Amino acid sequence: MSPLLPHERSAVLDLLAAVKYAKDDEDASRFEACWSPEARLEICSNGTSMEPVSGREAIMAFYARVWQSGGHGKADLREVHVAEHPDIVRLSDSRLLARHAASFFYAEGGEPKLRGFGQFHDEIVFEDGAPRIALRRSTLIRR
């Protein structure tokens, strides 16, 4: 396998920033562009694994329900994800892995409050020259 190239690293960093900000902003069209059509989402939250979500359309429907229900908070109490710099490695000639963590904060009464944190393992492919998440495994701890 070839080493990770600088333009691949840069593209993955841009993708992970787009995923984070689109999720925080509840920007469905920008968020959708971050996922491969055949993507898979696996989430374990507070020790409970949910049924995997397969396909970009199903992933978008899942997040539409989360956003609608206030699963990431509403209005002033909406979460902000604070992410660390990812570790990016090549899994194969066509797939990269980005491992990273994020803390979830919201503000209440002018004070930041920790809502939880998560670890993410994102397998990334390039489609039409753009990086997209093909598989996201999330392990979350929420208060």
| pLDDT band, very low/low/confident/very high, at 67 (cuts 50, 70, 90) | very high
Residue 129 binned pLDDT confidence (cut-offs 50, 70, 90): very high
Distance of CA 117 to the CA centre of its chain: 12
- The vertex-59 CA angle with 141 and 93, nearest 5°, equals 90
pLDDT band (50, 70, 90) for residue 6: very high
Domain positions in the chain: 6-142
Q: What is the pLDDT of residues 68-112, one digit of tens each?
A: 998 888 887 889 999 999 999 999 999 999 999 999 999 998 899
CATH of 6-142, one of 3.30.365.10, 3.40.50.620, 3.10.450.50, 3.90.1010.10: 3.10.450.50
First to last CA, the chain: 41
pLDDT in tens, 21-55: 999 999 999 999 999 999 999 999 999 999 999 99
